Amino acid sequence: MIISSTGIAYLFAFLATSFLSYRFFRYWQKSKDSASKLFFFFILPWVLFFFIKAVAGIFFVENSQILIASIHVGPFLQGLSCAVALYIVTLRKFPRISPWIGFSIVFGLGLAATYLTFNLSFSPILGQGGAISWGLPSSFVYLLLRATIILIGIFPLAIVIFQDYRTFQEPRAKTRAFGFFIILLSMTGFGVSDFIFAFANYLKPTPLFRDVGLGIIAIAIFIVVLKTQKNLPKKRTSGSQKE
């Protein structure tokens, strides 16, 4: 069985985002914090996205239909995640506006990008070095739409989280905010990379180079989560306190 470097890179990304989603889920369960709940639902579509890409790149690397199917679900899951992100931003910064308006705008763009994938031609193949070339079309509208979804969803959320970092006084909360800010910037860079590389030929990397880049980003995210998104301290019961 042939295992592509692309599948391995997406597997690393899946493990890193799964770790982050688990931490947000634990925060939500322990503190009943609505923010942690929303962050969990924000990261969950990315976990599914990386999982599907990893499975396709590891077990179905020679099946072009499966690879193309994994392309189709990408814009939908990313659009759903970014819709949740703009929901959070609208809720936090524009309380007079229904957060569902922000959600609907980005989710609609995600559906439009998903629709375009069924009307464009993709030709994913396994290239030299074991990396998958996804054969993305040189459609300016499609690539711009994908980049726009990321930029109006994740990047504003990163700004909000950075503002939290600047205003928080409690060290644990401050560390968590800064770590999440770094993660969001990394996800923004990954999300707009297709658009950047498609129209900047001198920067266009080989598929193997991009796999290595994604793997490095995934490892960095895992380390940031490990160092900054620590478990909440256990609550002391009255019987365990010293008298």
For 153-169, write each residue's pLDDT tens digit. 999 999 999 999 999 99
CATH number corresponding to 5-231: 1.20.1070
- Residue 199 DSSP class: S
Tokens of 75: 């814009």
Q: In the prediction, which pLDDT does 205 show?
A: 62
28 to each of 41, 44, 90, 134, 186, how far by Cα in Å? 11, 14, 20, 37, 23
Provide the whole-model pTM.
0.89
Q: In the prediction, which pLDDT does 130 show?
A: 85
Euclidean distance between CA atoms 106 and 87, whole angstroms: 9
Of 80-84, 105-109, 127-131, 144-148, minimum mean pLDDT range: 127-131
Between residues 204 and 96, the one the model is more confident about: 96
Mean pLDDT of 60-65: 91
Tokens of 44: 């969950």
Count how many Cα atoms sit within 13 Å of the Cα of residue 114 in the half-sphere of its side chain.
Answer: 17
Q: In the prediction, which pLDDT does 56 show?
A: 94
Structural domain boundaries of the chain? 5-231
